[in-house]
Amino acid sequence: MTEVLQHLIALLGLERIEQNLFRGQSQDLGWGRVFGGQVLGQALSAAVQTVPPERAVHSFHGYFMRPGAVDRPIVYDVDRIRDGGSFTTRRVVAIQNGEAIFSLSASFQIEEEGFEHQDEMPAVPGPEGLLSERDLALRVADKLPPGLREQACAERPIEVRPVEPMNPLKPDRRPPQRAVWYRASGPLPDDAGLHRYLLAYASDFNFMTTALMPHGVSWISPGMQVASLDHAMWFHRPFRMDEWILHVVESPSASGARGLARGRFYTQDGRLVASTAQEGLIRQRKPRPRD
User: What is the pLDDT tens value at each position of the chain, 291 positions in all?
Assistant: 789 899 999 999 899 999 999 999 988 776 678 989 999 999 999 999 999 999 999 999 999 999 999 999 999 999 999 999 999 999 999 999 999 999 999 999 999 999 999 999 999 999 998 988 777 776 666 666 666 665 666 678 999 999 998 877 788 899 999 999 999 999 999 999 999 999 999 998 889 999 999 999 987 788 888 999 999 999 999 999 999 999 999 999 999 999 999 999 999 999 999 999 999 999 988 766 565
- What is d(CA 20, CA 49) in angstroms, rounded to the nearest whole number? 9
pLDDT of residue 144: 64
Closest CA to 246 of 277, 278, 211, 270: 270
pLDDT of residue 259: 96
Task: Give me the helices (H) in the chain, please.
Answer: 3-13, 36-48, 133-139, 146-152, 192-202, 207-212
79 is catalytic: no
Tell me the C-alpha distance between 25 and 132, whole Å.
Answer: 27
Which residue out of 45, 228, 251, 275 is catalytically annotated?
Answer: 228
CA 35 – CA 33 distance, rounded (Å): 6
- Candidate list 38, 105, 204, 275, residue with the active-site label: 204
Q: Strand, coil or helix: what is 14?
A: coil
Contact 121, 59 (CB under 8 A): no
278 is catalytic: yes
pLDDT score recorded for residue 291: 54
- Check if 204 is active-site: yes
Query: In terms of Cα–Cα distance, which of 73, 18, 78 is closest to 46?
Result: 78
Q: CB of 158 within 8 A of CB of 180?
A: no
Amino acid symbol at 124: V
| Per-residue confidence (pLDDT) for residue 288, from 0 to 100 | 62
- Cβ contacts of residue 269 below 8 Å, gap of 6+? none
pLDDT at 28: 77
Instruction: State residue 27's pLDDT score.
Output: 83
Is 195 strand, coil or helix?
helix
Q: Is the pTM of the predicted complex or chain greater than 0.85?
A: yes
Collapsing DSSP to helix, strand or coil, 225 comes out as strand
How high is the pLDDT of residue 42?
A: 96
